[in-house]
Amino acid sequence: MSRNATTWPPHPKGYFAIGAERMSKSLNLGNLMRSAHAFGASFTFTVGATYKAVEAHADTSKSQLHLPHYNWATLDDMALPGGCKLVGIELLDGAIDLPSFRHPLRAAYVLGPELGSLSEPLVERCDYVIKIPTRFCINVAMAGAIVMYDRVKSLARFADRPIGEGGP
């Protein structure tokens, strides 16, 4: 069965963006941007990053040619669209486990830096904070891809999984 590019993959309702605070490694930023492009993000962003998106060589899809990227110098500079919920992704005790989280239709997901956590002011600004149920922190770009996959799986229409093992 061939898949028509306009109907595959199924498009989730709403829109989303993804970014990171104080990003310091261009390869991680590039991987995150490439995944965001692949999963259908509306835009990507950084807050207080030391690397700019243009330096993100791992973004082989050249996402900046296809969707906006915002480099906000400070948290005060961050300007999300009206009604967009800010969702922090961090291993915090009070965070919602990702498998139990209901994704907002309009969301901007933000991850912390490679060698740290989301800043307290950013966590306070978040409407929700979620965590991926892992034993320890994983790579920023990988964490972003897991959250984007969960969003697509939750908000797009896919065929039900078969009762037994394997495919239909």
DSSP result, 59-85:
-TT-GGGTS-EEEESSGGG--PPTTPE
- Write the pLDDT tens digit of every residue in 20-61: 999 877 778 878 888 998 899 999 999 998 765 555 555 566
Q: Which amino acid is at 146?
A: I
For the chain, how big is the Rg over CA atoms in Å? 16
Residues of the chain with pLDDT under 70: 1-12, 51-63, 65-66, 166-168
How far is residue 168's CA from residue 165's CA, in Å, rounded to a whole number? Answer: 9
Q: Judging by beta carbons within 10 Å of its beta carbon (0-12, 13-18, 19+), is residue 91 exposed, middle or buried?
A: middle
Q: Judging by beta carbons within 10 Å of its beta carbon (0-12, 13-18, 19+), is residue 107 exposed, middle or buried?
A: buried
pTM: 0.86
Contacts of 83 (CB under 8 A, 6+ apart): 106
Report the alpha-carbon angle 59-62-39, nearest 5: 75
**Whether the Cβ atoms of residue 16 and residue 108 lie closer than 8 Å to each other:** yes
Domains located in the chain, CATH noted: 19-155 (3.40.1280.10)
What is the reported pLDDT for 159? 76
